[in-house]
Every structure is written in structure tokens, then in C-alpha cells.
Chain A
């Protein structure tokens, strides 16, 4: 019998089974659960409907394993958003959830960024979140998947949920990474190759010499965008990079899991990184990819450096490296993904570089990425963005357009006002 993958092992342990195979449907215990200011009010509504049916919830399964963020509609976009946040605060108070990251009260930021920045999720854990990009956190060696608010409410009540064990697709990235290539280019190329439903219901696991050398934050970009290929989860086996990253952030103990050396993968893909180009995904699909140089000269209205995908500290560093001493030619918005990242960027002088270049720097929020507030696009506007999705209307008007790219490509394009390969602007 062939060995099993890290995803199968984590789920088997959580389901109390010796082993599981792809296709098995099991109820498994959850270690951590997250909800934010969009999924949270949904959960609260489900709770109130249960109460109407006579299901009284005096306490939840385990308040210490639940954490809550305010990220999509902060700073409160309007009265309704403000009231959603009040509702969320009342809920966390009532159920004794202390890990509630509040806007304007110390550390806060985008949920997926806090998941690693605050070491909320640890290797070997089963983590479910009320947001599709929960997949991000799989880079920590955890099983991490996104769910809707009914499922999150169910987990809050029962501490478990059903899973269909996914097949695992293995992506090996080999070679020596050129300085102008980022993890974003790798994952955009992969989605371009397999399509936006290429990994539907499956796990996407990343390995190989390049992944081994990637920093934690770059690995997180790979897993973040597995959602755009339809994957149930993205995952990377934990190693010394993972453990060192965690040592700086937590004393918590954990029991990591790795796949068997003879594990069975449904498909294995190998990429030679030297062959990759700085890449953009054209409107209106993350799978609609081209080399940035092929799109060179495409006129732009806005450059956006933000989101869980593209505003981690290293994303900001790479963008700043290109923007240093230059001026932006188009409206450029930089939104660090969390308060702690904003502060580190400030100390390193990155914020200064952005502002001297003429960009505006905003408080952490998901706002513009999901077209909700804090910088939405108008009819016909064209944006290049470090975010993860470019469906019609994603960042504003349904006839606006978004090109997805790495922080380097976005910064280079901000300098020229047109889609630009970072090799063509110097620095």
C-alpha cells in the first residue's frame, strides 16, 4: 500500500483514523476556527435562528480555539458596517472569545495575515476559516480550508465538521530563483496552466528546491492563491524555515506532520523556475495569464499594493526596492496587510519610500481588494494589483479591469503608468 500525503495524515489524525484515502468523507476535529466581520455576522444570524428553533447556546465548543478579525469593512465603511462590528464585539464578549483583533486597538489586520503573523495556526493542525483564502495558512504545514458561515457556526457549536478527503496534486518548483521572479509569478503561471477549476476539491501541495529556499511569507503567497484554482487546501510540509518563523512568534507546542516518502499524488507537476517570466493575469480571470512583457505598454489608472496575497512585509520590501528614489505616474495605493507589518515597514523606512514616490499609504483593510470601500474602481478604470482575484466587478465597477501581478511588477508599472516588467525600470 502506498504511503499517504501530509493532508491525508492531518485529516486522519483529526478523524481518529489510522489512514484515510481521497474520496473518504469523515467528521474530523477542528483545532482552530476563524471568522471576520463578513462571516461573523452570518454566524451570529445562524445562532439566532437556532435559538428561535429552541437550540439554546449557553457556551460554544471552545472559546480559546476561536479567533475573530475586523478586516473587510474597517475603518467602518458606513453605519451598517459599524453595526456589524458592534454585533461581533457583543458576540465575542458573550462567548468569552478573547482573541478578537480590533481595528484601532493594537494589532489588527487581514485575517489570513494574522493567522501567520500572530502564529494563530500551527503545523499539523486542522484550521477552518469563514473566508475562501483560508487556504493561505496551509503554508505553515496545517490543513487550512475556507468555509461559509453555517459551517463555521456548526464548528463553533460542535468542534468538528465533515470533510471529503481531497486528492493531492504535487507542484515541484526547481532551479535557481532569479531576483525578478516572485512566488506570485509561480502561482499565476500554475493557475494559467491548470485553470481556475484545475484543482477543484483537491489539495495543492508545493515542494522542490525553490520552495525549500522560499521564505515563509513567499510560501504563503503560493498557498493563498490555491483558492483561485478551486483547491480545497494548499499545503507545504513544515521545515526549519517554518519552525524558525514560529519561534519568533510563539512558545506554543505543536506536533508537525509530514507525508510519507512514498505518498501517492494524483498528479505531479515540475516547474523550472528559470523559465518563468514576471507574469500578469489579465481581466477577468486569475487563470488568464501572460508574461508582463507581452502586455507591456497597457495603460493603467491605478496601482494597488495590498491584501493578504501581496502586502506582507517582503511584498512591501520588494515594491519599495523598485520605487526607491522614483515617482509614481499613476494613482498608487499601498495598504499593509496588518498593523505589525505596517510598523515594521515604517521602521525599515519603506513607508517613507512609498510616500516620497507619491503613493498614498492606508490602514490595513481588505476594502479595495473586494471592491467594498477604501479605493474602489470606477467604470472603465484599469488597475494593476498585488491581490488575488480579478473577476468582473471585483474591485469596483463591473466594467473596471484588474491585472493581477507580483509586488515587483505592480511597483514597476506604477513608475511608468503602463504594465512593466521589473527588469525594465532598474533598481
Chain B
């Protein structure tokens, strides 16, 4: 995998950011992706969609995306422009949905690394070398490599395009 992503950080420094705050229940009937984006993170920060530019990153605490299996959650976030979520751990269904749907990258880092990253920092994610460069602070952080299958699905752009070897 040879891929570098560059973007600005939106930091929500708390654990267990759940699917009910990422995209509240009443919007589950909506299946228009652009419409969903208007309500991304509504339970935490209703202004979130306006703040995000194409290619940005969301940095958060552990167990990101816990709760429901609603694929609306990674869809809404990715439609705002978010390309990766950087957190110490993810809830399993959110992680699967993000990867298998090809919406955005769930990037796992140490809890101590989260503390080093500030809101609005410019980051470069280097998947080939499993590292993040913090351009603003001139620092580098390791990221947890994707397991082989996940890396292959990510490279294929989602499960539909992936063909087992």
C-alpha cells in the first residue's frame, strides 16, 4: 500500500464517541449520503459539517463509533470530507463499516499519541511506512499497521472490489 493523506485535525478528546451522537436515530430513515452529512456529529457539535474541509481528519479517544451498526455513521462523516479517523481503538462494527464500505480509514494510534495532537494541526498519514507526521509540530508518530486482509480491502477501496487471493 502506497498512500499518503494530508489534512487538518478536528479533535474531540473523549472516549466512547457513540453512533447516537455521530448520527442521531431520527436520521436513520435517510439514505441520501449528502443529506446525512448535514447531521454528522450533531449530538456533540452541530457546527461540525461547516468546519470540515475535504481531506481532513478526526482525532478522538478510544472505542470510537461504539453502539449501533448504522453505516450512516461512517457515511455521514466521510461525506463531510473526513478521510481518516485517528483514535486508540474503534468499536468493531464501525471499523468494519468504514473499511468494507470504503468510506474512510480507521487509524489506530497509542492513547499517549492522541494527547500530542492538537485541534487544527496539519498531519500527513503515510500508510506505506505506518507513520503520521505532524507538520505543525514537526513530530512523528507510529500507527498500528492494518492486518493483511484489512490492508487489502483498503487498497481495493472496499469489500465489493476486493477479490480474495
* Docked CA distance A196–B89 (Å): 12
Smallest CB–CB gap between A369 and chain B, Å? 9
Q: Mark A75-99, 1 if CB is under 8 A from B, else 0.
A: 0011011001000000000000000
Interface: A154 (CB within 8 A): yes
Q: Is B6 an interface residue (CB 8 A)?
A: no
0/1 interface trace, chain A 370-391, chain B, CB 8 Å (1 if under): 1111001000000000000101
Residues in B with CB closer than 8 Å to A27 are 164
Residues in chain B near residue A391, CB distance under 8 A: 18, 20-21, 43, 67
Q: Given the interface contacts A72-B28, A151-B159, A197-B66, does A230 sit within 8 Å of B97 by beta carbon?
A: no
Question: Which B residues between 8 and 42 are near A, CB-CB below 8 angstroms?
Answer: 15-16, 18, 20-21, 24-26, 28-31
- Decide if A242 is an interface residue (CB 8 Å cutoff): no
Contact residues in B for A151 (Cβ distance below 8 Å): 96-97, 100, 159
Closest-by-CB residue of B relative to A27 is B164
Interface pair A42/B67, CB less than 8 Å apart? no
**Residues from chain B with Cβ under 8 Å of A46 in the complex:** 160
Q: Is A256 an interface residue (CB 8 A)?
A: no
Q: How far is the CB of B87 from chain A (nearest CB, A)?
A: 11
Shortest distance between the CB of A329 and any CB in chain B (Å): 28
- Does B118 interact with chain A (Cβ within 8 Å)? no
Residue A182 lies at the interface, judged by CB distance under 8 Å to chain B: no
Q: How far is the CA of A73 from the CA of B31 in the complex (A)?
A: 14
B133 on the A face (CB < 8 A): no
Q: Which of B16, B92, B93 is packed against the most chain A CB atoms within 10 Å? A: B92
Check A282 for interface membership: any CB of B closer than 8 A: no
| Bound CA span A38–B62, Å | 27
Please give the distance in Å from A224's CB to the nearest CB on chain B: 14
Instruction: Using A131-B69, A285-B16 as known contacts, say yes or no to A394 and B30 having CB atoms under 8 A apart.
Output: no
Please give, as numbers and ranges, the residues of chain B lying within 8 Å of A134 by CB-CB distance.
69
User: Any chain B CB within 8 A of the CB of A63?
Assistant: no
| B159 touching A150, Cβ below 8 Å | yes
B101 within 8 A of A: yes
Q: Does B68 count as interface, using CB distance less than 8 angstroms? A: yes
Instruction: Assign chain B's interface to a size class.
Output: 35 or more
* A372 and B26 in contact, given A148-B101, A150-B158 (Cβ under 8 angstroms): yes
Q: Mark A131-174, 1 if CB is under 8 A from B, else 0.
A: 11010000000000011111100100000001010000000000
Q: Does A343 contact B (CB under 8 A)?
A: no
Interface check B70, CB cutoff 8 A: yes
B160 is contacted by which of A150, A389, A393 (Cβ under 8 Å)? A150
Q: How far is the CA of A134 from the CA of B71 in the complex (A)?
A: 15
**B101 nearest in chain A by CB position:** A150
Complex CA gap A77/B97 in Å reads 27
Expressed in whole angstroms, the minimum distance between the Cβ of A26 and any Cβ of chain B is 9
Chain B residues near A130 (CB-CB < 8 A): 69
Contact with A25, one of B26, B71, B149 (Cβ below 8 angstroms): B149
Tell me the smallest distance from the CB of A146 to a CB of chain B, in Å.
4
A contact residues around B26 at 8 Å (CB): 371-373, 376
- The contact of A38 among B43, B70, B100, B164, by CB within 8 Å, is B70
* Measured CA separation A154–B101 after assembly (Å): 10
What residues of A have a CB within 8 angstroms of the CB of B158 in the complex?
Answer: 150
| Distance (whole angstroms) from the CB of B139 to the closest CB of chain A | 27
21 examples of A-B residue contacts, CB within 8 angstroms:
A38-B28, A38-B29, A42-B31, A46-B160, A72-B28, A78-B29, A131-B69, A146-B69, A147-B93, A148-B100, A150-B71, A154-B100, A154-B160, A197-B16, A197-B62, A197-B91, A200-B89, A285-B16, A370-B20, A372-B26, A392-B21
A residues near B, CB below 8 A?
25, 27, 38-39, 41-42, 45-46, 50, 55, 72-73, 77-78, 80-81, 84, 130-132, 134, 146-151, 154, 162, 164, 196-197, 200-201, 230, 232, 285, 370-373, 376, 389, 391-394, 398
Shortest 6 CB-CB contacts between residues of A and residues of B:
A148-B97, A148-B71, A197-B63, A370-B25, A132-B69, A371-B25
Interface positions of B (Cβ within 8 A of A): 15-16, 18, 20-21, 24-26, 28-31, 43, 62-63, 66-72, 74, 89, 91-93, 96-97, 100-101, 147-149, 158-160, 164
> Given contacts A50-B160, A230-B91, could you give 19 more A-B pairs where the C-beta distance is less than 8 Å?
A25-B148, A42-B31, A77-B29, A78-B29, A84-B29, A131-B68, A131-B69, A146-B93, A147-B69, A150-B160, A151-B96, A154-B159, A200-B63, A371-B24, A371-B25, A372-B26, A373-B26, A392-B20, A392-B21
